[in-house]
Structure 1
Amino acid sequence: MSASPSQPDSGAKAVPTCFRHPDRETYVRCNRCERPICPDCMRDAPVGHQCVQCVAEGQKSVRRPRTVFGGRVADRPYVTWVLLGLIGLGFLAQQAVPDVTLQFQMWGVGVINGQWYRLLTAAFLHGGIVHLAFNGFALWVVGRQLEEWLGHGRYLALWVLGALGGSVLTLLVTPMQPSVGASGAIFGLFAAVFVVGRRLRTDTRYILGLLVVNLLITFVVPQISWTAHVGGLLTGFALTAAYAYLPRGGNGADRPDLRTRTLVHAAATVGCAVLLVALAVGATVYWTGG
């Protein structure tokens, strides 16, 4: 006598399982999409829980916080770390291959002969461990604060154009003098801290004193490229003034429209770069008698 197989109870309810992990039973549902979620897929919400997909979708619509000058808030000083790493690698390359200094230092004659890369590569080389330590320390102390104030993009533009500004003034005034170092960029950062401090109405006496002391050293101590320092300083003042004070208006004098501010700052950055390149081209034409 054979027995017929038992039939499942059609009235029994199926046990719900996680929509991402079908092998896991769960009785918790996402507050947003109402799909069942296991502990690995649930995220705390103001009320109940949400699944990871709904959390990710929600974050797309949340605007990232901005600094007072319009840049995205820098959670970590990534640009400062990268710049420190690059100048460190540049110094190691100098020690390993001495010709690196001759080939990549700022030398106006080389730029006039078409070696335009020298205008920037010199900022990643240094004249000794003390020179490297001073610029590296200044970049670490001042750079992190500026990166927090300005955001990654504006801060990087300021550093690069400060270095370029120092090289361009050297090309204009003392093309025969070779030089190395990130001092032009560092002086641009010093100027930026002063301008931003004035804009935020903080105490700027310490940075003003630091600027005065460094300028005295620049003109008193021999074999220091004053043109690199002054060129970076002037570039830093001009570009940071644009970041800190422009545009005026929009949704109030202190809170202009974000899109307008971004466009104005981008235009100021490009304009500064174009001006420096134009000055470099003019200098090469002048020195070659063209």
Structure 2
Amino acid sequence: MTSADFARNRENFCYRHPDRQSFVLCQRCLRTICPECQTQAAVGVICPECIAQQRRDQTPAQARAQRRWGRAGGSTSVALRGQPVVTYAIIAITAVFYVIQQIIPASTQWFVFYAPALYPSLLGTFEPWRLVTGALVHSSILHIGLNMLSLWMIGRIMEPLLGRGRFLALYLISALGGWVAVTLLAFPTPVLGASGAIFGLFGALVIIARHLGAQITGILVVLAVNLVIGFVPGFGISWQTHLGGLVAGAVVGLVFARTRRRDQRVRQIVLLTVVTVALFALMLIPLAIYG
């Protein structure tokens, strides 16, 4: 589909704001809605008309139950609408880990990703949790500051666009992709930080924006500059992590772009599972080489 074809297809734009492109459908009526029109539901989001219809269909008992638990309309729904909760949660957890690092410096070594830690035959221990915790620890205040600033900026765009579950899956798979690239291209280099996950968000954003027919020149420039910096000697940056996260994120973004409809949800889950399994399979290659 060309950009012109996309622009002519009104289903790719918010039905209440025809000038706003969107990637999210109301889970009830399946109409496209922009972040401003989204109200978070148990699964996905709901448009204003469906919310109104839902309230009209409520029994008195249901209305009382919702008021009791603070989940009815009004200020609570507005406050939750389009809020990047997962983004804020990741930032908060990462900040807590950084504080722990400062209080207990040795904790960095407990959590930092180190390739042989996944291969008992090479190191004598098996510590798979490092695949997650490695993205939560950072080497300096500048390191965590830049990564969390990037996450805050891009998360406010991507999370409302994709939904919380998809955004979290994208972040974790991108982080895994970064570790896989380090394992294959720089074994056994110790690395740490959320850079792989951040670059994965960039990669997914490029793919999805291109699919939507949006202008992505600015994104590509920022991405290129950050990639080049990773190759500059003396900066201590793992370009392998950046590259792996970028590729993994782009693949996940492609999956999201091609399985957008509600009836494609199962296919989307299957494809994400295949991507994850493939990444873990790639991490077994060092066993054949070094084992």
Quick check: TM above 0.5? yes
Query: In structure 1, how many angstroms separate the alpha carbons of the residues matched to 2:166 and 2:64?
Result: 28
Aligned length: 220
* Local SS of the residue matching 2:117: helix
- Gap runs ≥5 in structure 2: 1-51, 67-79, 121-125
Amino acid at match of 2:241: A
State the 1:155 CA deviation.
0.6
- Any conservation in 1 of the 2:114–2:188 contact (CA below 8 Å)? yes
Question: Do the aligned partners of 2:174 and 2:199 also contact (CA within 8 Å) in 1?
Answer: yes
For 1:75, the equivalent position in structure 2 comes to 82
Output the CA distance in 1 between the equivalents of 2:201 and 2:115: 24
For 1:257-280, what per-residue CA distance to the aligned partner results, in whole angstroms no more than 9, with x for missing partners?
x13x11111011111111111111
Structure 2 equivalent of residue 108 of structure 1: 115
* Preserved CA contact (<8 Å) 1:108 1:175: yes
Relative distance call for 1:97 and 1:195 in structure 2 (3 A) is same
Cα distance in 2 for partners of 1:109, 1:276 equals 17
- Aligned partner of 1:131 in structure 2 is 143
Q: For residue 264 of structure 1, what is the aligned residue in structure 2?
A: 267
Asked if 1:53 corresponds to 2:66, the answer is no
- For residue 91 of structure 2, the aligned residue among 84, 87, 90 is 84
Tell me the residue number matched to 1:149. Answer: 161
**How far has the Cα of 1:92 moved from its partner?**
0.8
Q: 2:100 is matched with which residue? A: 93
SS of the residue 1:212 aligns to: helix
Give the AA of the match of 1:140.
W
- From the superposition, tell whether residues 52 and 189 of structure 1 become closer, same or farther in structure 2 (CA, over 3 Å): same
In structure 2, the partner of 1:6 is none
Counterparts of 1:79 and 1:282, CA distance in 2:
33
What's the CA shift string for 1:10-52, capped at 9, x where partnerless?
xxxxxxxxxxxxxxxxxxxxxxxxxxxxxxxxxx99xx99864
Q: Which amino acid aligns with 1:273?
A: T
Amino acid corresponding to residue 225 of structure 1 in structure 2: S
- Would the alpha carbon gap of residues 74 and 218 (structure 1) be closer, same or farther in structure 2, given more than 3 Å must change? farther
| Structure richer in helix, relative to its length | 2
Aligned 8 A contact 1:74 1:151 in 2: no
2:284 matches 1:277: no
For structure 1, which runs of at least 5 residues remain unmatched after alignment?
1-43, 59-72, 248-255
Instruction: Provide the residue aligned with 2:48 in structure 1.
Output: none
Distance 1:164 1:283 in 2: 16
C-alpha offsets along residues 228-273 of structure 1, whole Å, 9 cap, x if unaligned? 11000000011110110237xxxxxxxx4x13x1111101111111
Equivalent-residue separation in structure 2 for 1:125 and 1:119 (angstroms): 11
1:81 CA drift (Å): 0.8
Amino acid of the structure 1 residue aligned with 2:198 = I
Task: Return closer, same or farther for 1:168/1:50 CA change in 2, 3 Å cut-off.
Answer: closer
Of the candidates 180, 198, 220, which is equivalent to residue 232 of structure 2?
Answer: 220
Which protein is bigger by CA-based radius of gyration?
1
CA RMSD in angstroms comes to 2.6
Q: 1:144 to 1:174 in 2, by over 3 A?
A: same
Shift of 1:120: 2.0
